[in-house]
Amino acid sequence: MYKNQWSALAAFIALLFSGTLYAQRGEGGDKFFMLVLGDSITKGVWADTTLGEGNPKFYWEMPLIEVHVKMLQLLSGKRVNDLSNTMKYATLIDRNFDYISRRNLSALIGDQPYSIPSLIKKAQSREIEVFDASILAGCYKISNLIFAKIEKFFLEHKNHHDPDLVFLNFSAMDFVFNSTIDDFEDNVRQTFARVAKRFPNTTIVVTPLLDVVSMMTASYDMVTLPAKFGANALRCADSYRKIGFDVAVGVTATISEQEIFDKTAKLAAMQRVLDSEISALQDQTGPAAYEQFSGRVIRVDPLPVPGGRWSPYLAVDCIHPNTAGQRLIGQNIWRALQNDSSITDAD
């Protein structure tokens, strides 16, 4: 009797480690699996701070950022518009700046009541698994870095089932890295095609570009950090300058109304490109990967900023969303997901 029991147990263990059982239902089991592509906003950078309010942690993190930025510019080359330097720059940022991430406060990978994993878990009554493939300062110009993270995950989890949801977050960095409209179109098409080919049956959720020009011009002269701990008061303009964001976006103290108009027009043109590619993927027209895609595509509406007032939703660096901003993002994405009963309703 015992011999038969041990034989059965040994056979089960051999079956388990052979991968056969995992292959039947997929590693990850019945968990709802989210794959998230994005940037520092996705990672919740400085979400625990607020514009105009001091945070002791930020007082030592900001000088550290300045030192790192200068070092990285020397290491990677200052011409970040060049693709090889952009890739190098982004790789170094992702490795060196992770200490400013506040993942638990993120709308997309966090664990707050407004976070998408929490909302899906409640609606589905299922456990949630999230793989964050985001990169700090990430953009789809450097999508090879993002896809390298994804492929590494699936190499380490060979029998893992495909994601139920793939989030493609387009926030500010594609604009910041000064892509031309044609370059941006190529980057979007290649990214969509890679996701569609790799996960042909998934649901892809696409968020819109962030109006970074409006955000910066509205906040530029605001005092974000009171003088404290021996440090001088900090304006948003100082924050942008310290990390090179003013030059990267082109919003500086000398920007003209015409330049603001031109940058806003370029941002709108980039959004039209993104919308056009979303429609092409939905209609299965375009690249071969689009034609073979049998999943769904969900387009998230532009972020509604109440009254056009950005300051209540910005972190102390005047760039990233604070907790209120992350909540706004989470609510906006959830509204889009609620149109899909397979996501928001329990099985």
9 located within any domain: no
Q: What's residue 303's pLDDT?
A: 87
254 located within any domain: no
131 located within any domain: yes
> Whose CA is closest to 184, among 278, 269, 288, 86?
269
Query: Which tens digits make up the pLDDT trace of 43-72?
Result: 999 899 888 876 667 766 777 777 666 665
Higher local confidence (pLDDT), 68 or 75? 68
Percent of the chain topping pLDDT 90: 39
The parent domain of residue 279 ranges over 30-212+260-344
Going by C-beta distance under 8 Å and a sequence separation of 6 or more, which residues neighbour residue 203? 164, 165, 166, 295, 296, 297, 298, 340, 342, 343
Query: Which tens digits make up the pLDDT trace of 247-283?
Result: 778 888 888 999 999 999 999 999 999 999 999 999 9
Query: Which tens digits make up the pLDDT trace of 136-171?
Result: 877 788 788 888 889 999 999 888 889 999 999 987
* Contact indicator for 213, 249 with CB cutoff of 8 Å: yes
Return the axis-axis angle of helices 83-96 and 56-76, rounded to nearest 10°: 150
The identity of residue 194, as a single letter, is R
Half-sphere exposure of 113 (CA within 13 A, CB side): 1
203 located within any domain: yes
Strand partners, 132: 36
Write the DSSP assignment of 58-116 as a string of letters.
HHHHHHHHHHHHHHHHHHH-S-TTSHHHHHHHHHHHHHH-GGG--GGG-TTT--STTSH
13 located within any domain: no
Work out the pLDDT band at 24, boundaries 50, 70, 90: very low
223 located within any domain: no
Give CA angle at 31 (347, 166), nearest 5°: 95
The whole model's pTM is what?
0.83
246 located within any domain: no
> Whose CA is closest to 186, among 297, 82, 286, 292?
286
The identity of residue 303, as a single letter, is L
- The number of domains in the chain is 1
159 located within any domain: yes
In angstroms, the first-to-last Cα distance of the chain is 41
**Could you tell me the CATH number of the domain that includes residue 124?**
3.40.50.1110
Residue 107 has pLDDT above 70, yes or no: yes
The mean predicted confidence, pLDDT, of the chain is 82
Backbone dihedral region of 239: left (phi > 0), alpha (psi from -120 to 50 degrees) or beta? Answer: alpha
Q: What's residue 23's pLDDT?
A: 31
